[in-house]
Amino acid sequence: MGQLLSNLVVGENVLSANDARARANREQFDQAGIYVINMMSAPGAGKTTVLERTLEYMAGTPRVGVLEGDIQTTLDADRLARFGIPVTQVNTDPGFGGECHLDANMVSHGLRSLPLADIDLLIIENVGNLVCPAEFRVGEDSRVMVCSVTEGEDKPLKYPLMFRSSDLVLINKIDLVPYLGFDLPALLRNLDAVNPGVPRLQLSARTGQGIEAWCAWLIAQRNRVEIP
């Protein structure tokens, strides 16, 4: 008895299930009138420190909430909780061997422990990683990438997927440039090679340089949201 083989045409996008869940998250955000940022970077680029400075600067207006993604620990959420803002931590550890990114489904679970009615601006701090987070939409309005000068000028060329998908690039640790021999014009050239003209801001979360401009950008984005 021979096996009968058949051919089935599928034509399904590999990320379609995630994208559908991301759209559902987005509807939830729109209904609540929340502007959502997906913040991504390599590990150690300074996302959490940027958020600390941001929360200090905003001081409650607009009302910021944070969803923290990490493979393990609640260290980042603990650092932000002292600001008295709504913050929740999604540990990706129970996923497939500790997922290296947040996907739309994980974010949708995390949202259940956030008081959406008390939030104007939600910042989702993704898992530190320059590859995987770029693949997974989570329902965000904008993607902000933190790229620090300690990482080297060549990173946009090495990780084009993430740099291409960003709406704003924050160039962090700018205070260290004199000590590193970092070639800032080269970084900007590489950035433009991959994502021509993408808005970029130079800042230092340590000294506070550039935090005001970054917060002004955030507030301008937030003000474009229609309040239901």
Nearest distance from C-beta of residue 133 to other proteins, angstroms: 10
**How many CA atoms within 13 Å lie on the side-chain side of 83?**
25
Contact call for residues 181 and 152 (beta carbons, < 8 A): no
The span of 59-67, 79-87, 98-106, 219-227 binding other proteins (CB under 8 A) equals: 98-106
Residue 188 near residue 158, CB atoms below 8 Å: no
By the rule CB under 8 A, 75 interacts with other proteins? no
**84: amino acid identity, one letter:** G
Binding letters toward other proteins, positions 186-205, x by CB under 8 A: ------xxx-x---------
Query: Which neighbouring-strand residues pair with 41?
Result: 146
Alpha carbon of 135 to those of 35, 40, 104: distances in Å? 20, 11, 11
Any contact of residue 52 with other proteins (CB under 8 A)? no
Cα–Cα distance for residue pair 26/46, rounded to 1 Å? 26
Judged by CB under 8 A, the chain residues 147 through 186 that form the site for other proteins are 157, 159-161, 164
97 binds other proteins (CB under 8 A): yes
Q: Which stretch binds other proteins (CB under 8 A): 49-57, 94-102, 116-124, 208-216?
A: 94-102
Q: How far apart are CA 117 and CA 26, in angstroms?
A: 15
Contact set with other proteins (CB under 8 A): 1, 3-18, 96-97, 99-101, 103, 129, 131-132, 135-136, 157, 159-161, 164, 192-194, 196
